[in-house]
């Protein structure tokens, strides 16, 4: 039996006075945090939530969300974290798909919920709890905690292959799919990642992004497994994150590339303020080499990179290899295997581009309610990622691009990442995203959307010409550059290229 829910009570028993959680002005030790988790679990049981029931959250980062994360598995229920950026139709669709019988949310979501109440017959009004006050027909979480009966929750024994959570994909390439993780898979997060990150009980872990996306769990689970200190930022702010690192002596943090770039560009950035860091982990999307080099120069021996899918395959670039294997996203850790597969299903040679295929102990149970999609993704125990890459002679992985992002220009395969690496070297460009748009002659042609650095001045034509003079082939030349104020992003901070492409083509069709 893998009782993940006992991690918090274990630390409450053996490290009660050590700091467990820091959130803004709140500091909770393990004893106090465990008491809050217990009260939340007791409330859920009082409301009639049972083993196997799905409990959803639609919350921004807050202390209550972490309580819920550990209370739900404590009663054998299934956690369903949903993005607070969802619109009404998307929220209703995912709540129905998951079969949620209980929902934790906030007052600002009430108008949206009232729009879709008729579409959610299985979600009772008394099980829609607001963590920041009562609104309309929905009760206040804090008041219910005070009114439910005294005593501890009834622990529920859970088998390792039972469902721990349903994580919905961020939808960067289509409709979200519910990825099912067992208790065993989450235990693998607890035990395999700490050694990879060189974490220990004395570590201080900062998380700056939304904890509703799966990337957050690569530091959250090992932190709570070890009983280390978890510092949570309400929402990402680069300048504030720097001050938190300096004040709390943070040792480990993970960020998506956009956050790393913002950190490096922050007015108060200083290597001295970040001296306590032992790990800066990049994940969620490729970090362009220009920014990796800058990070390694300013904060040496701290950079790690994770390539991974929520579905359950990882490679890790260790800090000791970040210079020797520049451009790589690392190698599969122990207990994992990787193949590079040609279109005919045969294994590619070293240096040959193909689809990245892998397997390991963190493999998902499948997509919720979609056995057809599960069978497409997992074949003979191997996860087909839909990503293109190649392995060198030592087995290190180099990403090329997503299959779906590849541009077919006049019959030639154009990889957006190759153009992005060139564009990222321009001194005026902070971020870049390249995508293909329809073209009468070539079928598709590449376009770049860019964000400029603060105070930088450059025209779209100047940037296009600069990039086109430096790409490696004529077919990589940009048709246009679009300067934007910001990129559309999901809750994880990932750039949504599909939305940019659709918006660009809509403007072209209806100028």
In the chain, where the domains are located: 6-158, 184-402, 406-509
Q: What is the pTM of this model?
A: 0.85
Q: Of 479, 503, 357, 358, whose CA–CA distance to 414 is shortest?
A: 479
Contact 493, 83 (CB under 8 A): no
433-470 tens-digit pLDDT: 999 888 777 778 899 999 999 889 899 999 999 999 99
Distance, CA of 254 to chain centre: 10
Q: Do domains 6-158 and 184-402 have the same CATH topology?
A: yes
- Whole-number Å distance between alpha carbons of 119 and 97: 12
With beta carbons less than 8 A apart as the criterion, state whether 264 and 237 touch. no
Q: For residue 83, what are its two tokens?
A: 């993005």
Angle between helices 460-468 and 416-423 (to 10 degrees): 110
Helix (H, G, I), strand (E, B) or coil at 248: helix
Instruction: Give the Cα separation of 249 and 241 in Å (integer).
Output: 12
pLDDT recorded at residue 33? 98
pLDDT at 207: 97
Enumerate residue ranges in the chain where pLDDT < 70.
Answer: 1-2, 134-136, 170-175, 410-411, 509-511
**How many CB atoms are located within 10 Å of the residue 507 CB?**
10
Residue 5: per-residue pLDDT: 84
CATH class of 406-509: alpha beta
Burial of 440 (0-12, 13-18, 19+ CB in 10 A): exposed
Strand partners, 439: 443
pLDDT tens figures, 381-392: 999 998 999 999
Which CATH entry fits the domain spanning 6-158: 3.40.50.2300, 1.20.1260.10, 3.40.50.11740, 3.40.50.980?
3.40.50.980
- pLDDT at residue 98, rounded to an integer: 95
The CATH superfamily holding the domain 184-402 is ANL, N-terminal domain (3.40.50.12780)
DSSP state letters, 225-241 = HHT-EEEE-SS--HHHH
Is 297 exposed, middle or buried, given 0-12, 13-18 or 19+ CB atoms closer than 10 A? exposed
Q: What is the pLDDT of residue 170?
A: 60
Write out the DSSP string of 349-372. Answer: PTT--EEEEEE-TT--SEETT-HH
C-alpha to C-alpha distance for 128 and 131, rounded to whole angstroms: 10
């Amino acid at each position: 039996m893998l009782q993940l829910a006992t991690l918090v009570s274990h630390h409450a028993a053996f490290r009660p006075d050590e700091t467990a959680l820091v959130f803004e002005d709140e500091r909770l030790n393990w004893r106090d945090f465990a008491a809050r988790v217990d009260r939340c679990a007791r409330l859920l049981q009082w409301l009639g939530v049972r083993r196997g029931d799905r409990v959803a959250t639609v919350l921004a980062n807050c202390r209550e969300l972490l309580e819920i994360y550990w209370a739900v598995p404590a009663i054998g229920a299934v956690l369903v974290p949903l993005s607070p950026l969802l619109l009404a139709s998307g929220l209703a669709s995912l709540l129905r798909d998951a079969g949620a019988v209980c929902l934790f949310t906030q007052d600002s979501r009430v108008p949206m919920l009232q729009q879709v109440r008729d579409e959610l017959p299985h979600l009772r009004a008394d099980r829609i709890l607001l963590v920041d006050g009562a609104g309309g027909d929905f009760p206040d979480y804090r008041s219910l905690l005070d009114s439910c009966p005294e005593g501890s929750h009834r622990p529920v024994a859970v088998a390792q292959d039972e469902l721990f959570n349903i994580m919905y994909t961020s939808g960067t390439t289509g409709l979200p799919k519910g990825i099912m993780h067992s208790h065993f898979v989450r235990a693998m997060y607890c035990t395999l990642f700490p050694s990879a990150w060189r974490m220990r009980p004395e570590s201080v872990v900062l998380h700056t992004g939304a904890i509703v996306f799966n990337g957050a769990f690569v530091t959250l689970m090992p932190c709570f497994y070890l009983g280390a200190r978890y510092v949570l930022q309400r929402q990402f702010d680069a300048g504030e994150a720097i001050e938190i690192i300096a004040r709390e002596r943070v040792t480990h943090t993970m960020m998506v590339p956009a956050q790393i770039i913002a950190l490096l560009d922050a007015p108060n950035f200083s290597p001295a303020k970040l001296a306590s860091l032992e790990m800066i982990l990049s994940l969620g999307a490729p970090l362009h080499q220009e920014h990796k080099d800058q990070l390694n120069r300013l904060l040496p021996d701290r950079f790690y990179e994770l390539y991974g899918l929520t579905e359950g395959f990882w490679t890790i670039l260790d800090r000791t290899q970040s210079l020797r294997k520049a451009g790589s996203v690392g190698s599969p850790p122990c207990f994992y295997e990787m193949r590079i597969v040609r279109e005919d299903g045969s294994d590619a040679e070293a240096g040959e581009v193909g689809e990245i295929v892998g397997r390991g102990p963190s493999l998902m149970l499948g997509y919720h309610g979609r056995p057809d999609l599960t069978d497409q993704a997992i074949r003979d125990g191997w996860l087909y990622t839909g990503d293109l890459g190649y392995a060198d002679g030592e087995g290190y992985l180099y990403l090329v691009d997503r299959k779906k992002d590849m541009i077919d220009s006049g019959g030639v395969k154009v990889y957006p990442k190759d153009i992005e690496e060139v564009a990222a070297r321009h001194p005026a460009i902070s971020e870049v995203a390249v995508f293909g748009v329809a073209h009468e002659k070539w079928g598709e042609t590449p376009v770049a959307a860019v964000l400029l650095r603060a105070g930088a001045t450059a025209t779209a034509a100047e940037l296009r010409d600069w990039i086109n003079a430096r790409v490696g082939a004529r077919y990589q030349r940009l048709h246009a550059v679009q300067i934007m104020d910001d990129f559309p992003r999901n809750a994880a901070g990932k750039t949504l290229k599909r939305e940019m492409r659709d918006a660009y083509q809509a403007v072209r069709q209806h100028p």
